[in-house]
Amino acid sequence: MKKGLLFIVVSVFVLSFMIGGQALADVKKYKVPVISDFSGPWAQLFKVWVPMQKAVFAWWNDTEGKKLGVELELKHYDGRYDSSVIASMWPGILTECSPIIALGGGGADVAALQQRLPRDKVPVIYGTASYGYGWIPDQWIFQVRPLYVQEWLAGIMWYIQQHPEKRPLRIAFLSCQIAAALDLVNGVEKYVSDVLDPKGLAKIVAREYTDTNPVDVSSQVKQIIDAKADLVLGVVTPAMASAYIRACQLYGVNIPTVGSPHHTIWKFGTAMKTFKPFEDHLVVAAHTPVTDKDSKAYEFYKLLVEKYGLKKNSYNPYTMMALNQSILAVRAVEHAIKRVGAENLTGQAVYDALLTGRFTEEELMGTLPTLQFTKEAPFCNTDLKVMIETVKDGEYTLATSEWVPVPDDVKKW
């Protein structure tokens, strides 16, 4: 009797091992390279990006990936935010990973890889907004957000609606002499000149420039004050934001800025432990704001903390960019699997899925509005909308709980 029981137990164990081994064998693994920066100028940013990327991919592997028989393994590479370093690493990355998709880090790898990607057939996903000089067709680069200019213009239009004075909104620029910042100035200026000024809605009254990390901008701010500006655009680094606020305090004024979430309010406020100096300033982005704790995106973040190793208190504008790129990447792979099967995934298959699929706000876990890409641009350029945050009574909060539409008549500049 005991021998018979022992035989049954051993048989069940062996059968379970065989079935489990077969299940593991049926899982197709793909390596996903991630261009990062662990020793360059943006090392602090990537220090918080990487855990978010890992958590999102771990969640997907444990849920949809398990159902579909695919596991995605992230492999981070230190490109030091240096185009020459990234270009030299890329052939080895292709050999080591045979990637079906990759995650990008920023402008350095765009410069290094943009012309190569169509030949190498590797789509790369970015979590930031886009620049005007990147608005070119037939790209294998995919941005989760539209142009910074489109986001800012949505903020300007919303501001105009909230301040229906019977005169044009007076806009000033406080920017810096780098290509990315100048691109933003040129894009906004063209739209104001072509569309808003003729309608009597807005006009440019001052253009001031400084360094990316200025100590003092009081002379530039004095020119902006003398021009009687209502709104300031172009502040694109936390150091510029800090210098701008000090100058405003020197002159006893508060002229609101419009920028992106990682440029002004959040970074300054967390460092100074107060948001009061940014009262009524605005930040605009085409993703769910981190101040909305009732969102589906925040619920997803809490799930990643509870089950997938993400640290608490890591929900901020920096990690949101990593969350955005990661969720689009895994959903793109998921769409491709459903089209060609787990065994037949290639970069071309994922690229085709990105161009033919519609990625809904629901499947993007509420972090982004619904996205649909075409070959005309590396970002979604239809039905665009943003969320806007501000500071009210010293609290960093939502300016509006609703998505705000982006003007649909923005042209290339």
SS3 74: strand
In sign, the C-alpha dihedral spanning 178, 182, 183, 188 is positive
The full set of domain ranges for the chain reads: 28-146+293-382, 149-285+386-405
The pLDDT score that the predictor gives to residue 180 is 86
pTM for this predicted structure:
0.90
103/64 Cα distance (integer angstroms): 19
209 in Cβ contact with 220 (< 8 Å): yes
Q: Do domains 28-146+293-382 and 149-285+386-405 have the same CATH topology?
A: yes
37 in Cβ contact with 46 (< 8 Å): yes
The pLDDT score that the predictor gives to residue 12 is 46
Three-state SS sequence of 227-258? CCCCEEECCCCHHHHHHHHHHHHHHCCCCCEE
255 in Cβ contact with 231 (< 8 Å): yes
Neighbours of 355 (CB within 10 A): 14
Question: Which residues 6+ apart lie within 8 Å of 233 measured at CB?
Answer: 152, 156, 171, 172, 173, 174, 175, 184, 185, 188, 257, 258, 259
CATH number attached to the domain at 149-285+386-405: 3.40.50.2300
130/138 Cα distance (integer angstroms): 15
CATH number attached to the domain at 28-146+293-382: 3.40.50.2300
Angle in degrees, 0-180, between the axes of helices 317-340 and 347-356, rounded to the nearest 10: 100
- Tens digit of each residue's pLDDT, the chain (413 residues): 445 554 454 454 444 444 444 444 589 999 999 999 999 888 888 999 999 999 999 999 999 999 999 999 999 999 998 999 999 999 999 999 999 999 999 888 988 999 999 999 999 999 999 999 999 999 999 999 999 999 999 999 999 999 887 899 999 999 998 888 999 999 999 999 999 999 999 999 999 999 989 999 999 999 999 999 999 999 998 899 999 999 999 999 999 999 999 999 998 899 999 999 999 999 999 999 999 999 999 999 999 999 999 999 999 999 999 999 999 999 999 999 999 999 999 999 999 999 998 999 999 999 999 999 999 999 999 999 999 999 999 999 999 999 999 999 999 99
